[in-house]
Structure 1
Amino acid sequence: MTTEFKDNITILGETIPLGTSKEINFNIAKLHTATKIEVPVIIERSKKPGPTILFTAGLHGDEINGIDIVRQLISRGINKPKRGSIICMPILNVFGFLNSSRVFPDGRDLNRVFPGSENGSLASRVAYTLMTEIIADVDLIIDFHTGGASRFNAAQIRIVHDNPELKALADVFSPPFILYSKNITKSFRNACSQLNKPILLYEGGKSFFVDNTISKIGVEGVKRILTHFEMLNSKHKVTPSKTTPVYVEKSKWIRATASGMFKAKVAINSKISVGDVVGQITDPYGKIHHAVKSKLEGYVINVNEASLVYQGDALFHITTQLKH
């Protein structure tokens, strides 16, 4: 992260000096009724120079838990720094949020069109504006996500290999798990990395659901990051992490070998061994009772909470190689 901080930053064409509180509307598009769709960009700048940190959520419209975390940063005043600047964008995909959908109205996944195009699809235009009009003056991005569908993710930070800065920041955030994962082509994380903008991706919970523990871990992680950069306002207290993060090199899925009604027998974050019964699949008629046994040893970092599953569905995500 740079140590040369600007007195003025520019967001969506507006110059914002130190000591300014500002809300700018990110004009995405209009509905068919000509009603404007605008995403608020909430900016808080201290009078004292320092880093500029961007907090984003709702890249997928169904990932409500991430939105709740950024909402709490704003409602509790955590986004008002004692030095530097904090930018909050609680909902990047407002269309998906309004339609209870993961994707944009054009059917595209916003997280697969970066860095976008000025004259492309609706999703591509949003990605382009985000990268060109907001990211330029940002020093760090923390992007909040959840598990898809009914799959509940353990609280985790995802980073790439061989990046000491991201590793140090992930340690500061101190989630239960830190996963090494490659940047996906055309993702927001990849686009930021190509601009040499450090980004932490937080995963936790499942779509269309707010879990208080997942939100608390996210908020406390943010407070630790802000404390690390001497940005956290003194009225907020930091809760020391009670656990040391588990670094995950590799992981595998346990999949259903039969279709039916599913019940998980192990909780998220728990450690399992080979041969453990981790779930049960039954039929509606009480004739079939299929025990799901683990062929893996490791921590459970994702649980499928669906009541009905088909053969081959992913049920549990298990760590298989830890970094020591």
Structure 2
Amino acid sequence: MKFVLTVLLSIAFSMSSHAGVKERKIITKLKVDDLGAGRHEFYFKAGYRNTGDALLIPVIVFKGTKEGPRLMLTAAVHGDELNGIGVLHRLAAELNPKSLKGTVIMVPGINRTGLENNSRYFHESNGGGSHTDLNRVMPGEKYGHAGERFAYHVWHYLLKNNADKAIDLHTQTRGTAYPLYVFSDFRNAAAKKMAYLLGPDLIKEDKGQKGTVETTFVTHDIPAVTLEIGAPKIFQKDLINRAIIGIKRVMKKDGMIKGETLPVARVKPYVGTKSTTVYTHTGGILMMKVALLDHVKEGQVLGCINDPFGHKLKCYRAPHKGVVLAVSTDPMREPGSMVARLLK
């Protein structure tokens, strides 16, 4: 009798703990133009795990009551970069399809296996197989390895035909940090305009890199930028707030939303065309000598590596003048790790 009661209580607890979970429709292709006005939530099936279970990506679509631009917002293509998810969840709570002109598509967490494994990479299998950087293999390969096939489905059936503009949200990777920072191909006038409207601290005028979400959109004549939002594995309230204001500024400029005049960027962003990363040559404990957004001179010390007893092994200097674009936040540095990155 005691055993039966325990089982019944366990079942009752299980049912009650999932009672508030909303079932979402699973789709294999998104067609936002076919949706009616309102908020829609789906799971997009982008492939399968090594267990045979489906890989499901959450998708939120806000379809306005009036026709207008389609803005695609993607986050966590790298699984350890979470600020973008915070941005999309906050933005989703604030948007109202009744007052929206056009469509906003949000993908708050593309890299499902990376998120589950606290990893930048797409994991083809837990503990084995190769790890894929999804932001280097877009638009994927239909018959490639698992990561390329995943990217193929994401691009061809979720992203490609559903956007007129796109913003891909990232952060720096583990042990490092960015400020609010935009990559933008200034050869595309709309992408250049988006970069400034987002109100970042820094902009890199960049022709793009093959395989990234941003460049893949641009090569398909869809203006896109990459918005870097701080550090990984954390929600940074101030940067999330600024990113939301920037995205709303883009939407307002395109007539998608009305209302109050959104504040302009606090300072004019520093724009550069070249970034240089300074790496360690030996392992040890790093003592940083500069901070994000510092203006440095050529030869200035960026950081010094100490041995386990606190003795200085080597100091690393700026190879040229510029602004500190990224810093190491983890003092424990292996050989070949980043000390800092400069933009000029």
Report the TM range for the smaller structure's normalisation: 0.7 to 0.9
Whether 2:246 is the aligned partner of 1:221: answer yes
| Separation (CA, whole Å) in 2 of partners of 1:292 and 1:194 | 38
Q: Distance between the aligned counterparts of 2:182 and 2:315, measured in 1? A: 32
Larger Rg: 2
Q: Which of 89, 96, 100 pairs up with 1:71?
A: 89
- TM-score, scaled to structure 2: 0.81
Supply the RMSD in Å over aligned alpha carbons: 2.5
Q: Where does residue 210 of structure 1 map in the other structure?
A: 235
1:274-318 deviation line (CA, Å, top 9, x unaligned): 343432322221333654443432210100112122454321111
SS of residue matched to 1:254: strand
Query: CA-to-partner distance for each residue in 1:91-149, whole Å, 9 max, x for gaps?
Result: 11111111212222222222222222334333223322232223213100100011123
1:163 to 165, 175, 188: 188
Q: Which residue of 1 aligns with 2:110?
A: 92
**CA-CA distance at 1:262 after TM superposition:** 0.7
User: How far has the Cα of 1:247 moved from its partner?
Assistant: 1.0
1:57–1:91 contact (8 Å) kept in structure 2? yes
Could you say which residue in structure 1 is the equivalent of 2:342? 318
* Distance change >3 Å, CA 117–CA 274, structure 1 → 2: closer
Aligned counterpart for 1:12 among listed residues 26, 30, 42: 30
- Pairing 1:178–2:203 present: yes
SS at match of 1:147: coil
SS in 2 for 1:69: helix
Matched position secondary structure for 1:221: helix
TM superposition shift of 1:232: 2.5
Give CA deviations for 1:173-193 in whole Å, capped at 9, x if unaligned.
221111022322222222212
Alpha-carbon distance in structure 2 between the residues aligned to 1:199 and 1:131:
14
- Give the deviation of 1:260 after TM superposition: 1.8
Residue 65 of structure 2 contacts residue 97 of structure 2 at CA under 8 Å; is this kept in 1? no
Taking a change above 3 Å as real, the CA distance of residues 80 and 279 of structure 1, as seen in their structure-2 partners, is farther
Look up the SS of the partner of 2:86 in the other structure: helix
Q: Summarize the Cα distance change of 1:22–1:203 in structure 2 as closer, same or farther, 3 Å threshold.
A: same
Q: Distance in 2 between matches of 1:40 and 1:159?
A: 26
* Alignment counterpart, residue 297 of structure 2, candidates 255, 270, 273: 273
Map of 2:77 onto structure 1? 59
Q: Are the structure 2 counterparts of residues 81 and 196 from structure 1 closer, same or farther at C-alpha, using a change threshold of 3 Å?
A: farther
SS in 2 for 1:50: strand
Map of 2:9 onto structure 1:
none
Counterpart in 2 of 1:187?
Answer: 212
CA, structure 1 residues 254+121, in 2 after alignment: closer, same or farther (shift >3 Å)? Answer: closer
Map of 2:178 onto structure 1: 153
Partners of 1:28 and 1:18 in 2: CA distance = 24
Q: Which moved more, 1:201-210 or 1:140-149?
A: 201-210
Paired with 2:136 and 2:281, the residues of 1 have a C-alpha distance of 31
Query: Between Structure 1 and Structure 2, which shows a larger proportion of helix residues?
Result: 2
CA pair 15-119 structure 1, distance change in 2 beyond 3 A: farther
Residue 161 (structure 2) aligned to one of 133, 136, 159: 136
When residues 39 and 247 of structure 1 are mapped into structure 2, their CA distance, relative to the original with a 3 A threshold, is same
| SS of alignment partner, residue 105 of structure 1 | strand
The count of corresponding residues between Structure 1 and Structure 2 is 310
1:7 — aligned with what?
A: none
Cα shift at 1:21: 2.1
Aligned letter for 2:41?
E
SS of corresponding position for 2:68: coil
Gap runs ≥5 in structure 2 = 1-27, 125-130
Distance 2:193 2:31 in 1: 33
What TM-score, normalized by structure 1, do the two folds share?
0.86
The alpha-carbon distance between structure 1 residues 161 and 224, as it changes in their structure 2 partners (threshold 3 A), is closer
Give matches, 1:19-58, under 5 Å. 19-58=37-76
How far apart, in 1, do the equivalents of 2:40 and 2:147 lie?
25
Which deviates more from structure 2 when the two are superposed, residues 76-85 or residues 88-97?
76-85
Distance 2:221 2:32 in 1: 23
Q: Give the letter for the 1:278 counterpart.
A: L
The answer on whether the counterparts of 1:11 and 1:133 sit within 8 Å (CA) in structure 2 is yes
Supply the distance in 2 between the matched residues of 1:94 and 1:249 (Cα, whole angstroms). Answer: 33
Q: Percent identity?
A: 25
